[in-house]
Amino acid sequence: MNSTEKVFVIDDDEAVRGSLCALLEAAGFGVAAFASAVAFLGHYSADLAGCVVADIRMPEMDGLELQQELVRRRARLPLIAMTGHGDVPLAVRAMKEGAVDFIEKPFDADDLLAAVERALEISRARPADQPAQEAAALVESLTSRERQVLEHLVAGHPNKVIAYELDISPRTVEVHRAHLMEKLNVRSLPEVVRIALAAGVAPAEKK
């Protein structure tokens, strides 16, 4: 395990937190434990590396709400949801929101450790987010028309639709698209979208 990585254990049950931490530390993982999702978010920073193991049912903020918040913050921390009996539908919802796995209580130690290893592999494979300030500076370099084209690209609109919406020719859209990609220093649409989202660019709506 990378020395900067940690497994963030979040559960309001002190006994569960203790047993999880002991198991993970014995397996060689760095661990940090929190009694609530709110407490964890108070500790959160964008440079954290590792994964989260969180109970799906907690007071104040449950595991599903935590997953939604991690997505909103574009966190590079895959979440494993812990579920009790009857909570599988909630875990499935969490996975639809972006959680990478779930384990049922009482869980098997080997299953838990395998889930954590998978989550850490996913975390390592995720590219670092474009820093918001850097992304915003790149977007600021665009002309107003290039910015409009960018907003439509983020919305997933093809060139012909963008041309219609902006009342310009498809060829002109292609020119603006090439210029904005050059200014953003990217070669693909996914890279364009990643920078736009990091800079807080909202997708354009059709007329």
Say which CATH architecture domain 132-198 belongs to: Orthogonal Bundle (1.10)
- In whole angstroms, give the CA distance from residue 178 to residue 181: 5
Strand boundaries in the chain, DSSP class E: 5-10, 31-34, 49-55, 79-83, 101-104
- CA–centroid distance for 152 within its chain: 22
For residues 176 and 145, the answer to whether their CB atoms sit within 8 Å is yes
> What's the token pair of residue 50?
């590792």
Local confidence band at 126 (pLDDT 50, 70, 90 cut-offs): low
127 pLDDT exceeds 60? Answer: no
| pTM for the full predicted model | 0.61
Q: What is the mean pLDDT of residues 141-148?
A: 97
Return the pLDDT at 195. Answer: 86
Indicate the domain borders of the chain. Answer: 5-125, 132-198
For residues 103 and 80, the answer to whether their CB atoms sit within 8 Å is yes
Q: What is the mean pLDDT of residues 138-144?
A: 96
Residue 141 burial by CB count (10 A; 0-12/13-18/19+): exposed, middle or buried? exposed
Mean pLDDT across the chain? 89
Task: For 5-125, give the CATH class.
Answer: alpha beta
Q: Which residues of 37-50 are buried (b: 16+ CB within 10 A; e: fewer)?
A: bbebbeebeeebbb
Half-sphere exposure at residue 4, Cβ-oriented, CA atoms within 13 angstroms: 6
Local confidence band at 129 (pLDDT 50, 70, 90 cut-offs): low
159 pLDDT exceeds 70? Answer: yes
- In whole angstroms, give the CA distance from residue 186 to residue 191: 6
Q: What is the mean pLDDT of residues 140-144?
A: 96
